[in-house]
Structure 1
Amino acid sequence: MQKDIGEVGPQQAWEILSNDPTARLVDVRTRAEWSFVGVPDLAPLSGQTLLVEWKSFPQMQRNENFVSELLTGLDDAPASKLLFICRSGARSLEAARLVASALGGQDNPPECINVAEGFEGDLDPAAHRGQSNGWKAAGLPWRQS
């Protein structure tokens, strides 16, 4: 069953993470993207982005262990909200739907939310990302990993 997932922009995601200490940000991009493009930096909030690949580079095959790796990364800490982010919002939406379905039968499952513009956002007129929208373009903290 496909779940409807709420979506927020990067600034709204930052506000959720700032105001809710149990909310977690899950970056579902590939290891290559984390290494070469960077990752959201939650250090100003005394937090850490959870890095779990949804698909693996270069074949872009889905990570069949995604939910179990996510749960391991949460380390039994209850999360009120899980915010999912990828490059531009498509992969993270797929991941959020899967997790919402997988955890939907639990008592008080976390709300799964997609960060719609993603880390790098949409292509600009020059066919570059990271300039028109997304986490980086919003000026939110990030770092090279």
Structure 2
Amino acid sequence: MSYAGDVSPAEAYEAVTASDGAVLVDVRTRAEWAYVGVPQLGAGRSPLLVEWQRYPDGSVNEAFVDQLRAAGVTQGTPVFFLCRSGVRSVAAAEAATAAGLGPAYNVLEGFEGPHGPDGHRTVGGWKAAGLPWTQG
């Protein structure tokens, strides 16, 4: 593993709401933020919204690390990466670590989690854990 580790959505929420220094970075696309929803952190705090892959073509965001730095993520900043299901967030955590940022963590199951038996993403992730979120 080339990043600090994996955490559950509840562990990530606890870390970013208990510490002024820790940040949650949602690496999904603009379309996902607008149509699916965005995590809420309370107390005037918001996740950083930085696409790992660009919408609509899916190309990797070559400015990703620069955008993290511009948002204030530095070496020593605990940073928790969240995507839809916990795959893109691993790549983001690896890129941040390689750039000397973090410690960087992957949020397991992401915002929506895996597909359940009915084909819907309702069995895991941030939303299914009952953590706060809002929809555009």
Q: Report the TM-score range of the alignment, normalised by the length of the smaller protein.
A: over 0.9
TM-score after normalising by structure 2: 0.92
- Whole-Å separation in 1 of the counterparts to 2:38 and 2:103: 22
The residue matched to 2:127 in structure 1 has which SS?
coil
Deviant stretches of 4+, over 6 Å: none
Matching of residue 81 in structure 1 with residue 78 in structure 2: yes
The residue matched to 2:51 in structure 1 has which SS?
coil
The residue matched to 2:2 in structure 1 has which SS?
coil
Matching of residue 28 in structure 1 with residue 38 in structure 2: no
- Whole-Å separation in 2 of the counterparts to 1:80 and 1:72: 13
Unpaired segments ≥5 residues, structure 2: none
C-alpha root-mean-square deviation of aligned residues, in Å?
A: 1.7
CA contact (8 A) 1:29 1:86 kept: yes
**Across the two proteins, how many residue pairs are aligned to each other?**
136
Task: Find the counterpart in structure 2 of residue 143 from structure 1.
Answer: 134
CA contact (8 A) 1:24 1:79 kept: no
CA contact (8 A) 1:27 1:51 kept: yes
Identical-residue share of aligned pairs (%): 46
- Whole-Å separation in 1 of the counterparts to 2:27 and 2:75: 19
* Compared CA separation, residues 45 and 114, structure 1 to 2 (3 A): farther
Deviation at residue 5 of structure 1 after TM alignment: 3.6
Deviations 1:17-64 (A, max 9, x none): 12221000000000000000000011x243111000000122210000
Question: Where does 1:52-131 land on structure 2 (aligned, <5 Å)?
Answer: 52-74=50-72, 80-103=77-100, 109-129=101-121, 131=122
Unpaired segments ≥5 residues, structure 1: 104-108
* Compared CA separation, residues 45 and 13, structure 1 to 2 (3 A): farther
The residue matched to 1:136 in structure 2 has which SS?
helix
